[in-house]
Homo-oligomer: A and B are copies of this chain.
C-alpha cells in the first residue's frame, strides 16, 4: 500500500531525518501533526538508536521513519589521513589548536553493524530509510519480514533501478538542491547532479516504484509541485531546521537566515562526501584542497568536527556543518506542529488554485 495511505498521513509530507539536526521531539511533533517524522540513526550506535526509537514511541502513537547510513566501509589510510591533517593544520593553528593525532571512522555503516540490525528487527520501526546505498539482500529481507516499509535515496536513474531491484517500497528522489549529504552510492562515481525537477519527473515516469521528491521543497506550493511531478510525497529537511524542536545551535539558526542561505555550497571537505551547506568559512575552502589526500567518509568528518570544535572554542562558528538546501532563503522558524499545519493549508490552497483557463480549454 502506498506510503500516505498505509500510514494514514494527513498530508504527503516526510520530515527529513537530518542526523544531528532532527530530534525525536521534532520527528514526533511532525508525526503527531499528520506528517511522517524522521530521525537519523546513522550518527549513533545501536544503544543510542534504541533510546531514540523508544523516545519516539513515548511521544507519538503514529508512524515514523528511521534513517540509516549505508556507506561503503571506509578504507583507513594513515598516510592519507596524516596528509589531510597536515593540510588542515594551519586552520587549527589559527584557533590555537592542534589537529588530532589520528582520525577514526566515526559512523558505522548499517552493513557493518549487526547490532544495529538486531535492534531494528527487535523494535521494528514502521519505516526505515537508507542513505548512501543499500544493505545486503539478507538484511533487506530480514527487515521486510518484520513488516517494515523500506525506502532509499537515489540521485540517478541507475541508483533508482538498484533500489527497485532490491525490492524496496519507495525511492527518495534526492535532487541536487537538497541540503546535507548527497546519497550517491559511490561518491567517486560521476555525479550527473540532477535537479529535483528533472530527477523526480524522470523517476516517477521510469522507476516503477513510488517516488518521494526531495531537495529545495520548502512550502505547500512546493509539495503541490512535487505531486504534479508524479511524486507520492515530498521530503522536506531544511524547512524544519528553524523549528525550536530541532537540534540546530544558535549559530546555525542565525546562518540559515543570513546571506549564506542564498549561496549554499556542495563540498566534500567537511565529511569526505559531497554535502550541501550554507556558505560559511568551511565551504569557502577550495574543494580542490582535498586533492588526493581527503580521507574516506566518514574518517574525514572526524577532522571536520575537530576543526569546528577548535574554532567554536575561540568564538568562530563558521566551521560548523551547517547543512542546508537551495531553498534555504524560504526557511521559517515556527514550532513543527504549526509548520505542518501551515504546509497542509498551503498545499490545499495550491491544489484548489487550479488554472481553469488551461484546464477548460484543453481537449
Interface residues of A (CB under 8 A from B): 4, 10-12, 156-157, 175-177, 190, 192-199, 201-202, 204-206, 215-219, 221-222, 224-230, 262-264, 266, 325-327, 329-330, 344-345, 347-348, 350-352, 354-355, 357-359, 361-363
**What's the least CB distance linking A185 to chain B, in Å?**
16
Q: Which residues of B contact A229 (CB under 8 A)?
A: 221-222, 225
Decide if B228 touches A327 in the complex (CB within 8 Å): no
Pick the contact of A197 from B175, B329, B357 — CB < 8 Å?
A: B175
Q: How far is the CA of A85 from the CA of B175 in the complex (A)?
A: 37
Q: Which residues of B contact A361 (CB under 8 A)?
A: 10-11, 344, 348
Q: How far is the CA of A330 from the CA of B363 in the complex (A)?
A: 22
Known contacts A10-B361, A176-B176, A176-B193: does B355 contact A201 (CB below 8 Å)? no
Known contacts A197-B195, A219-B201: does B358 contact A348 (CB below 8 Å)? yes
Q: Which residues of B contact A12 (CB under 8 A)?
A: 355, 358
Decide if A348 touches B359 in the complex (CB within 8 Å): yes
Decide if A329 touches B206 in the complex (CB within 8 Å): yes
Q: Which residues of B contact A201 (CB under 8 A)?
A: 216, 218-219, 221-222, 225, 327, 330
Q: Which residues of B contact A202 (CB under 8 A)?
A: 326-327, 329-330
Pick the contact of A11 from B204, B219, B358 — CB < 8 Å?
A: B358
Q: Which residues of B contact A264 (CB under 8 A)?
A: 192
Q: How far is the CA of A199 from the CA of B263 in the complex (A)?
A: 12
Q: How many copies does the complex hold?
A: 2
**What's the least CB distance linking A344 to chain B, in Å?**
4
**What's the least CB distance linking A293 to chain B, in Å?**
18
Decide if A351 touches B354 in the complex (CB within 8 Å): yes
6 nearest A-B pairs in the assembled complex, by CB-CB distance:
A198-B216, A348-B362, A195-B195, A198-B326, A225-B228, A196-B197
Q: Which residues of B contact A204 (CB under 8 A)?
A: 221
Known contacts A197-B196, A359-B352: does B218 contact A228 (CB below 8 Å)? no
Q: How far is the CA of A361 from the CA of B348 in the complex (A)?
A: 8
Q: How far is the CA of A329 from the CA of B160 in the complex (A)?
A: 15
Q: Which residues of B contact A228 (CB under 8 A)?
A: 221-222, 224-225, 227-228, 350
Q: How far is the CA of A321 from the CA of B211 in the complex (A)?
A: 33
Q: How far is the CA of A11 from the CA of B362 in the complex (A)?
A: 8
Q: Which residues of B contact A354 (CB under 8 A)?
A: 351-352, 354
Q: Which residues of B contact A326 (CB under 8 A)?
A: 192, 194-195, 198-199, 202
Pick the contact of A177 from B157, B195, B351, B352 — CB < 8 Å?
A: B195
Q: Which residues of B contact A216 (CB under 8 A)?
A: 195, 197-198, 201
Interface CB pairs A-B, < 8 A, 5: A176-B195, A177-B194, A197-B217, A344-B361, A351-B359
Q: Which residues of B contact A329 (CB under 8 A)?
A: 157, 202, 206
**What's the least CB distance linking A122 to chain B, in Å?**
34
The closest CB in chain B to the CB of A232 belongs to B355
**What's the least CB distance linking A339 to chain B, in Å?**
14
Known contacts A225-B225, A351-B358, A363-B345: does B192 contact A215 (CB below 8 Å)? no
